[in-house]
Structure 1
Amino acid sequence: MNDLGTYLKELRNKLHLSLKDVQERCGVTDSKLSRLERGEGRDFSPLELKKLAQLYGVNVIPLYIKAGYLDESDLSEYQLIFENANLLNEEEHSSIQTQINLFTKGRQVSDNDF
Structure 2
Amino acid sequence: MNDLKSRLKEIREDKKLSQSEFGERIGLSRSQISCYEKGIRDVTERSIKDICREFDINENWLKNGEGEKSLISEKDSILANALAEITLSDNGTIKEIIVKLCKLDEKYIDLVNKLIDGLMSK
Structure number with higher relative contact order (C-alpha < 8 Å, ≥ 6 residues apart):
1
Larger Rg: 2
> So what's the TM-score if we normalise by structure 1?
0.49
TM-score (norm. length: structure 2): 0.46
